[in-house]
C-alpha cells in the first residue's frame, strides 16, 4: 500500500535474481524522472510495484497481469481528536474494478485479487469523497477570503458533516483567523502558491488590521513538506 512496503517488496524480489526482469517502484514521492521510467521501452519482463497512484493518475503501458492487495493508504480526519491519519484500509468495489482495468488495455489481461468474492461484495460501492474525510480548515478559510458566504450554506457537491465545519472553525479561531470576512480585507488572497493554513490565517489577520508590511513578511512561514 505504501512507499515502505514497495521498497521492501522490491528488495525481496531482487534477491531472487530474476533474469531479464526489471523491477520498478512507483509512488507519488518519486522524482518525475524516476516515474518516467515506466514509459521507457524495455526488453523482457517488467514488474511495477505501485501505490494507488497507478489506479487513476497514471496509465502504465504494457500491463498484462495485475495483482491487487485490496488495500490502500487512505487519509481520514477525526474532528474529535483533530488528527488526520493515513491508515491502511480495504478499498471500495469501484477502486478494485479500476485496478482491474489497468491490465488488458492492448491485449488480454488477468487480474488476481488477494481477497475472495464474498469480501469484494461486502465492500462499499465507492470510496468516500475526500471532502468527507479531510480537515476543512483550508476550505473554510478560502470561502471566507472570497466572501462566498457561510460554509454551512455553500452548495458543496457532497456537503460535509457539520462536525467537520465546526472543527475547522475552532482551528481557525485558535490560529487567530476571524470567523467572518473582515471589513477592509482584500477579497482575494495574494497570487502565488496556496498557503498552508497557518500562513493563510496570518495573512488574513494582517489584512484585518491593514498591516501591509506584516502581510508582506508573512513569507517567513514556508511549507517545506513534499508536494
Render pLDDT for 117-128 as a digit per residue (tens, 0 to 9).
999 999 999 999
Is residue 227 in some structural domain?
Answer: no
Is residue 89 in some structural domain?
Answer: yes
The pLDDT assigned to 206 comes to: 52
Is residue 216 in some structural domain?
Answer: yes
Based on the domain organization, do 55 and 111 belong to the same domain?
A: yes
Based on the domain organization, do 96 and 149 belong to the same domain?
A: no
Write down which residue in 129, 162, 197 finishes a domain: 129
Based on the domain organization, do 27 and 83 belong to the same domain?
A: yes
Based on the domain organization, do 30 and 123 belong to the same domain?
A: yes
Evaluated on CA atoms 50, 124, 133, 84, the torsion sign reads negative
Is residue 56 in some structural domain?
Answer: yes
Based on the domain organization, do 99 and 120 belong to the same domain?
A: yes
Based on the domain organization, do 91 and 150 belong to the same domain?
A: no
- Which regions of the chain are under pLDDT 50? 187, 189-193, 209-227
The pLDDT assigned to 43 comes to: 86
Based on the domain organization, do 80 and 63 belong to the same domain?
A: yes
Is residue 40 in some structural domain?
Answer: yes
Is residue 225 in some structural domain?
Answer: no
Based on the domain organization, do 122 and 13 belong to the same domain?
A: yes
Q: How many domains does the chain have?
A: 2
Write down which residue in 129, 153, 184 finishes a domain: 129
Burial 48-73 (b: 16+ CB within 10 A, else e): bbbbbebbeeeebeebeebebebbbe
CA–CA distance, 182 with 7 (Å, rounded to integer): 49
Per the CB < 8 A criterion, the answer to whether 63 and 105 are in contact is: yes
The pLDDT assigned to 183 comes to: 53
Which single residue is written with the C-alpha cell 515506466?
38
pTM: 0.71
What is the distance, to the nearest Å, from the Cα of residue 61 to the centroid of all Cα atoms in its chain? 23
Based on the domain organization, do 21 and 110 belong to the same domain?
A: yes
Residue range(s) defining the domain that contains residue 164: 132-220
Based on the domain organization, do 10 and 84 belong to the same domain?
A: yes
Is residue 226 in some structural domain?
Answer: no
Write down which residue in 94, 129, 164 finishes a domain: 129
Based on the domain organization, do 151 and 91 belong to the same domain?
A: no
CA–CA distance, 191 with 185 (Å, rounded to integer): 15
The pLDDT assigned to 203 comes to: 57
Is residue 64 in some structural domain?
Answer: yes
The pLDDT assigned to 55 comes to: 81
CATH of the domain at 100: 3.40.50.300
Evaluated on CA atoms 67, 69, 70, 74, the torsion sign reads negative
Based on the domain organization, do 9 and 119 belong to the same domain?
A: yes
Amino acid at each position: 500500500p505504501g512507499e515502505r512496503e514497495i521498497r521492501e517488496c522490491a528488495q525481496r524480489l531482487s534477491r531472487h535474481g530474476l533474469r531479464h526482469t526489471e523491477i520498478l517502484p512507483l509512488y507519488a514521492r518519486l522524482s518525475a524522472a524516476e516515474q518516467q521510467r515506466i514509459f521507457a521501452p524495455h526488453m523482457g519482463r517488467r514488474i511495477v510495484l505501485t501505490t494507488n497512484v497507478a489506479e487513476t493518475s497514471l496509465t502504465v503501458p504494457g500491463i498484462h497481469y495485475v495483482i491487487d492487495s485490496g488495500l490502500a493508504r487512505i487519509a481520514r480526519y477525526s474532528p474529535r481528536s483533530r488528527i488526520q491519519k493515513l491508515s491502511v484500509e480495504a478499498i471500495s468495489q469501484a477502486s478494485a474494478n479500476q485496478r482491474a482495468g489497468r491490465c488488458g488495455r492492448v491485449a488480454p489481461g488477468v487480474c488476481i485479487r488477494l481477497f475472495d468474492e464474498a469480501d469484494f461484495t461486502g465492500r462499499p460501492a465507492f470510496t468516500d469523497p475526500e471532502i468527507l474525510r479531510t480537515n476543512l480548515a483550508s476550505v473554510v478559510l478560502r470561502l471566507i477570503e472570497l466572501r462566498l458566504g457561510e460554509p454551512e450554506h455553500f452548495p458543496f457537491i457532497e456537503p460535509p458533516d457539520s462536525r467537520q465545519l465546526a472543527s475547522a472553525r475552532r482551528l481557525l479561531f485558535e490560529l487567530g483567523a476571524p470567523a467572518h470576512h473582515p471589513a477592509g480585507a482584500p477579497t482575494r488572497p495574494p497570487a502565488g502558491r496556496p498557503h498552508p493554513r497557518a500562513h493563510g490565517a496570518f495573512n488574513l489577520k494582517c489584512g484585518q488590521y491593514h498591516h501591509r508590511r506584516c502581510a508582506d513578511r508573512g513569507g517567513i512561514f514556508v511549507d517545506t513538506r513534499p508536494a
